[in-house]
Amino acid sequence: MQNLKKLLSVIVAGILVASCASVNNISYSTTFVPEEGGVSFTKITDENFESLTNPNVVKNYTTGRLTWWANPLIAITNDGQSLAYNVFKNDRRNVFIKSTSGIGSSVQRTFRTNVNDVTFSPDDATICFSELDGQNSYIYTTSAKQGSIVQRVSPQNVKDYAPYYSKDGSKIFFTRLDGNNYSIWSYDTKKLTFTNYCHGLNPLPINDEEILCVRPNSKGNFEIWKVNYVKGTEAIIVTAENQSYTTPSLSPDGEWILMVANTLPNGNKQEENLDIYVVRTDGTGLTQLTYHKGNDCSPIWSKDGKTIYFVSQRGTEKGAYNIWKMDFNLE
């Protein structure tokens, strides 16, 4: 369990502190805070019935750095009708599916042990996920309607994570961890071959030539990059002195990128937490969307681009994680 939490955590630069803010001092029960005024928030899951996978946001007392799980914890079908997400139940982590409306109960779709993340194929027929297996992690596919039979994509003795299909479904992009080095690979679903592209993690295909990805810089902060793996060109989209950005999600119109980043309210390291940010694909218009003192992470877009689904501690007594949705109307 601990290995699962540590393998794909993201290190965020910060100063060494003797202790971090006690979670008992955080008011999780509020649905929104004044800085989020005018935005509608709706709870999709209920912690009283299912426990979502914890993104493992941890303060490292030795380094003073905040760490969190960068894997995408939720996914949406391409018809926009269903969400897939990771649930911890009976000492196992598996994928469950529920309507994006939040109405009705969820349905378990994988029957594994330690599922890390989840994504859908473009035709919504297949679920792709990675699963921890001892010191390794392998990528699998299974039917989105049944889930009992799986096919392993990864070779033996690797640490593969965060799969994401290309637009046409011909490739599965993913992160491979080798020691402390992250690299981006793809698996050709027809040729059954692997290709290594570049260093980075959280690959997100934009088109047939480009991907968004996350890379660490020399200071240990993580940045959002755009890589053209056909032309061999690269460009930084977002970087900051005291923040890291992970888990990018591209809006349906291709204009905006959602991200997770650490926030220091008023520069106060004791209150550091995770929030959701958005930026235009050209790197302009960086905007903080959430301000709750609980953690907000793993954002994805609705198919019309008007709603954001995300994992959050808000609206619960003790900071349990649920899926929430919020309006997006930034011009």
Ramachandran angles phi, psi of 239, nearest 5°: -150, 155
Per-residue pLDDT at 7: 36
**DSSP codes joined into one string, 15-33:** ---S----GGGS-TT-S--
pTM: 0.91
Ramachandran angles phi, psi of 271, nearest 5°: -105, 15
Taking alpha carbons only, the member of 313, 315, 322, 324 closest to residue 23 is: 313
Give the integer Cα–Cα distance in Å for 24 and 21.
Answer: 8
Contacts of 285 (CB under 8 A, 6+ apart): 278, 279, 330
Q: What's the domain count of the chain?
A: 1
Q: Which CATH number is 55's domain given? A: 2.120.10.30
Per-residue pLDDT at 148: 85
Q: Which residues of 215-230 are buried (b: 16+ CB within 10 A; e: fewer)?
A: bbeeeebbbbbbbebe
Per-residue pLDDT at 268: 63
pLDDT along the chain (331 residues), means of 10: 37 23 66 92 96 87 77 96 97 96 95 96 97 97 92 97 97 96 97 97 96 93 96 96 94 97 75 93 96 95 97 95 94 65
- Name the residue range of residue 289's domain: 2-327
Q: Is 310 exposed, middle or buried (0-12, 13-18, 19+ CB in 10 A)?
A: buried
Per-residue pLDDT at 23: 39
Per-residue pLDDT at 6: 36
Give the integer Cα–Cα distance in Å for 161 and 184.
Answer: 10
